[in-house]
């Protein structure tokens, strides 16, 4: 029975000053790095996702293009593959990441489960192959990709914990609603100082 940490989309475009910067994003990046430094043996696997969108199309309508984005299903251009905005934020310690997942390559994608590993596999198969039964979730943004990733992990039978001080959302009200939804769906809510318990 192994334990994994999901680090969701801690990328430059989702940090303050980025194309879709989330308030508190830098603090989340710092907090995750601190967690990995202070608890190096807590997780058997650290799995990080990144939006990795195509530059030459609207990614299945995900990019608003010339239209005004609705910030629900259409968005400004962000996290284009190979650009600075798509890279991990500098405050995130990447040396502890065991598996890198890219999602949204030509299509909308919110959950880490919609991405592919560098080896071309799915997150579901990766967890199954390594006997991962518990998943802790941290990252950005609470009301979108954190929510979608955690719900998928629950649906795939994992015991899920949301590290509540290591997530930040687009909208405070929607983020509170997402946390409540995840708790109602069976996720446990913990803070980073309690991950060893």
The CATH class of the 2-194 domain is: alpha beta
User: Which residues are known to be catalytic?
Assistant: 9, 103, 145
Start-to-end C-alpha separation, the chain? 15
Parse the chain into domains and list their residue ranges: 2-194
Band (192; pLDDT cuts 50, 70, 90): very high
Task: Provide the β-strand partners of residue 75.
Answer: 63
Band (71; pLDDT cuts 50, 70, 90): confident
Q: What confidence tens digit (pLDDT) does each residue in 126-170 have?
A: 999 999 999 999 999 999 999 999 999 999 999 999 999 999 999
């Amino acid at each position: 029975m192994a334990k994994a940490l999901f680090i969701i989309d801690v990328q430059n475009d989702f940090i303050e000053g980025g194309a879709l910067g989330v308030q508190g994003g830098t603090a989340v990046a710092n907090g995750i790095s601190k967690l990995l430094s202070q608890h190096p043996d807590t997780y058997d696997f650290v799995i990080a996702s990144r939006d990795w969108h195509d530059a030459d199309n609207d990614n299945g309508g995900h990019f608003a293009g010339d239209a005004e984005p609705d910030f629900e299903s259409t968005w400004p251009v962000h996290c284009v593959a190979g650009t600075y905005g798509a890279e991990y934020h500098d405050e995130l310690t990447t040396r502890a990441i065991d598996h890198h997942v890219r999602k949204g390559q030509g299509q909308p994608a919110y959950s880490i489960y919609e991405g592919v590993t560098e080896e071309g596999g799915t997150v579901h198969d990766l967890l199954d192959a390594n006997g991962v039964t518990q998943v802790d979730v941290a990252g950005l943004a609470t009301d979108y990709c954190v929510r979608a990733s955690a719900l998928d992990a629950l649906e795939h039978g994992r015991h899920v914990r949301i590290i509540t001080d290591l997530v930040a959302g687009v909208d405070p009200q929607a983020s509170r609603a997402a946390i409540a939804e995840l708790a109602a769906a069976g996720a446990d809510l913990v803070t980073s100082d309690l991950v060893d318990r």
